[in-house]
Structure 1
Amino acid sequence: MELYIKHISKQFKDLTAVNDITLQITPGVWGLLGANGAGKTTLMRMIAGIMKPTSGQILYDGIPIHELKESFRDVFGYLPQEFGFYPEFTVKDYLEYIAVLKGLTPKDSKRKINELLEQMTLSHVKNKKITKLSGGMKRRVGIAQALLNEPEVLILDEPTSGLDPGERVRFRNLLSEFAHDRIVLISTHIVSDVEYIATQNAVMKEGKLLAKGTTEELVKLVEGKVWSARIPMNRLPEYEQKLQIVNIRNEDNGQIAIRYLAGRPFTEDSLPVSPHLEDLYLWLFPTDTVSKKTFSGKND
């Protein structure tokens, strides 16, 4: 089983949203990382067959997906950033409707819907209109519809948006188990969603593929660039102007511990620390707000 994205590009007038991406995706969880505007959603829409590439091909087991047509959609599941539904639909109505569109038999439909309602903790709201649900519950309904046909290829665009931390942990565990013999591609800018479950990660920036590899391989790109130090609290504004601070923790005696990214140590007592995938993300996608992290209870 292989999904081969072969030199895919997408041009919108003067904007190149996806620029010559090539990926050979095999079974397991794949993380597609990048800031907003990196081209992740455009790439996923092309994989889903919703949007045609300007150039290049997407093949499933060696056959272009536009030639496979219905046979590819039969083994495909997709959760877009925003999924549509009729306002009058209850959760159960919606899942039954999607099951019909996906060609499930009444028996399989009933079994799978009940299973997913339980897995997504939606059984207690199955007769409630989707419009009345919280953002997190709506997202869980979207995840459920993507899993209805037990797809061989599952594409999820920002799937954990709106989910609380406990729901995200349960969802990650579900995906990890589901991806044993299937392809699961998760587009996200929430690095923790894929850091520990992804078989491989691909990093996009401005439409291009910057890097690809396992989490262990990718974090090596920022080895020697992640540091910890203790500084006086009253000097924090000064350090924030000069450093990319990613974490801050209160210490005793008016001191604070900082974790920061830099090509070399900024203070004599700075110590190198083991990088995480989030460190790579913040190194590649620095923002003006990165140094303004809220105080947290831990720092490595």
Structure 2
Amino acid sequence: MELFINNVSKQFKDKNAVNDVSLHITSGVWGLLGANGAGKTTLMRMIAGIMEPSDGKIEYDGIPITTLKGKYRDIFGYLPQEFGFYPEFTVKDYLEYVATLKGLTKKDTKKKINELLENLSLENVRNKKINKLSGGMKRRVGIAQALLNDPEVLILDEPTSGLDPGERVRFRKMISEFAKDRIVLISTHIVSDIEYIATKNAIMKNGQIIATGTTDELVQEMNGKVWECEVSTEQLPEYEKKLQIVNLRNEDDGKVTVRYLAEKPFSSESFKVKPRLEDLYLWLFPQETNKEVK
């Protein structure tokens, strides 16, 4: 079970949204990390067969997906950033409709829908119209439709958008179990979605893959660049002005522990700390430092 992305590019007028991307994706959870506008969604849409590359090709087990056509769709599940549904559909109606499109039998449809509603905590809203659901619940319905045909290849674009922290934990557990003998590719800018469950990660910036590897391999780049120190509240504005701060923690003694990224320590009181994937992400995408990176 292998997905080959071979020198794939996508040109939109005067912009290269994806530029000569190559990846060899094997079974397990893969994370595709990048800031908004990095080209992740365009790449996902090409892998899904919704959009054709301007150059390059995508193969599943050595066969181009354009050749596989329906056979590829049969083993494929996809959650886009925004999924469409008729306003009058209930959750159950919508999942039955998608199951029909995916060719499931009535028996399999009933069994799979019941299983997914339970796993995604949607049982109590099975007969509720989707347009009346919260954003988090709508997202869970989207995840359910992607899983209906028990796909060999599952592509999830920003899957936890709108989910609360508890829902994110349950989602990660479910996906980790699901991916044992399948390919799962998760595109996200929320680092915690993939930090601990991803077999490998690919980092995308300006339409290109700039790094690939396990979490442990990738964070090695940040060795000696992540620091902590304790400062007074009076000192804090100076640190905030001059440093790329990734975290602040108030201490019982009234001081503040500052975690920051730098090639060398800002003060003699600073000490090196073990880097995390979030540190690497914010180092590569400094404009995201003041945004939500969970």
- Verify same fold: TM over 0.5: yes
* 1:258-277 matched pairs, under 5 angstroms: 258-277=258-277
Instruction: Tell me the residue number matched to 2:6.
Output: 6
Instruction: Tell me the residue number matched to 1:79.
Output: 79
Unaligned regions of 5+ residues in structure 1, if any? 294-300
Identity among equivalent positions (%) equals 73
Instruction: Tell me the residue number matched to 1:231.
Output: 231
Supply the distance in 1 between the matched residues of 2:58 and 2:184 (Cα, whole angstroms).
16
Instruction: Tell me the residue number matched to 2:217.
Output: 217
Per-residue deviation, residues 248-291 of structure 1 (Å, max 9, x unmatched): 1112444211000000111001100000000000000002x726
Per-residue deviation, residues 17-42 of structure 1 (Å, max 9, x unmatched): 00100000000000000000000000
TM-aligned CA distance change 1:178 to 1:292, over 3 Å: closer
Per-residue deviation, residues 58-112 of structure 1 (Å, max 9, x unmatched): 0000000001000000000000000000011000000000000000000000000
* 1:71-220 matched pairs, under 5 angstroms: 71-220=71-220
Instruction: Tell me the residue number matched to 1:67.
Output: 67
Alignment partner of 2:224: what SS? coil
Instruction: Tell me the residue number matched to 2:40.
Output: 40
TM-aligned CA distance change 1:292 to 1:84, over 3 Å: closer
- What is the Cα deviation at residue 235 of structure 1? 1.6
Does the CA-based 8 Å contact 1:244-1:291 persist in structure 2?
A: no
Instruction: Tell me the residue number matched to 1:297.
Output: none
Alignment partner of 1:88: what SS? coil
Does the CA-based 8 Å contact 1:40-1:187 persist in structure 2?
A: yes
TM-aligned CA distance change 1:253 to 1:177, over 3 Å: closer
Q: How many residues align?
A: 293
Instruction: Tell me the residue number matched to 1:298.
Output: none
Instruction: Tell me the residue number matched to 2:19.
Output: 19
TM-aligned CA distance change 1:107 to 1:291, over 3 Å: closer
Per-residue deviation, residues 102-136 of structure 1 (Å, max 9, x unmatched): 00000000000000010111111000000000000
Instruction: Tell me the residue number matched to 2:289.
Output: 290
Alignment partner of 1:234: what SS? coil
Unaligned regions of 5+ residues in structure 2, if any? none
Counterpart residue identity of residue 93, structure 2: D
- What TM-score comes out, normalization by structure 2 length? 0.98
Supply the distance in 2 between the matched residues of 1:269 and 1:252 (Cα, whole angstroms).
19
Supply the distance in 1 between the matched residues of 2:3 and 2:161 (Cα, whole angstroms).
25
Counterpart residue identity of residue 290, structure 1: T
Alignment partner of 1:67: what SS? helix
Which structure 1 residue ranges, 4+ long, deviate > 6 Å from structure 2?
Answer: none
Alignment partner of 2:286: what SS? coil
- What is the Cα deviation at residue 151 of structure 1? 0.1
Supply the distance in 2 between the matched residues of 1:20 and 1:290 (Cα, whole angstroms).
28
Alignment partner of 1:83: what SS? coil
Supply the distance in 2 between the matched residues of 1:218 and 1:292 (Cα, whole angstroms).
22
Supply the distance in 2 between the matched residues of 1:164 and 1:101 (Cα, whole angstroms).
30
Supply the distance in 2 between the matched residues of 1:88 and 1:249 (Cα, whole angstroms).
47
- What is the Cα deviation at residue 204 of structure 1? 0.2
- What is the Cα deviation at residue 292 of structure 1? 8.4
Per-residue deviation, residues 165-188 of structure 1 (Å, max 9, x unmatched): 111111100000000000000000
Does the CA-based 8 Å contact 1:7-1:56 persist in structure 2?
A: yes
Supply the distance in 2 between the matched residues of 1:274 and 1:208 (Cα, whole angstroms).
28
CA RMSD of aligned residues (A): 1.3
- What TM-score comes out, normalization by structure 1 length? 0.96
Counterpart residue identity of residue 148, structure 1: L
Per-residue deviation, residues 224-261 of structure 1 (Å, max 9, x unmatched): 10000011211211111110011111124442110000
